[in-house]
Amino acid sequence: MGWIFLLIGGALECFGALAMKKSEGFSQLWPSLLAILLLGTSLLMVSLAMRTIPMGTAYAVWAGIGIASIAISGILFLNEPASLLRLGAILCIVVGVVGLKLVEAIET
Give the DSSP per-residue string, 13-29. Answer: HHHHHHHHHHTTTTTSH
Q: Contact 14/73 with Cβ under 8 angstroms?
A: yes
What is residue 17's predicted lDDT score, i.e. its pLDDT? Answer: 97
Of 28-32, 34-38, 53-57, 98-102, the one with minimum mean pLDDT is 98-102
| 3, containing H or E segment | helix 2-22
> pTM of the prediction?
0.87
**How many domains does the chain divide into?**
1
Q: Contact 42/13 with Cβ under 8 angstroms?
A: yes
Summarize pLDDT for 3-45 with one digit per residue, the tens.
Answer: 999 999 999 999 999 999 999 999 999 999 999 999 999 999 9
Full domain range(s) for residue 65: 2-107
Summarize pLDDT for 85-97 with one digit per residue, the tens.
Answer: 999 999 999 999 8
- The rounded distance, in Å, linking the Cα atoms of 89 and 13 is 19
Mean pLDDT, the chain, integer: 95
> Rounded mean pLDDT of 65-80?
95
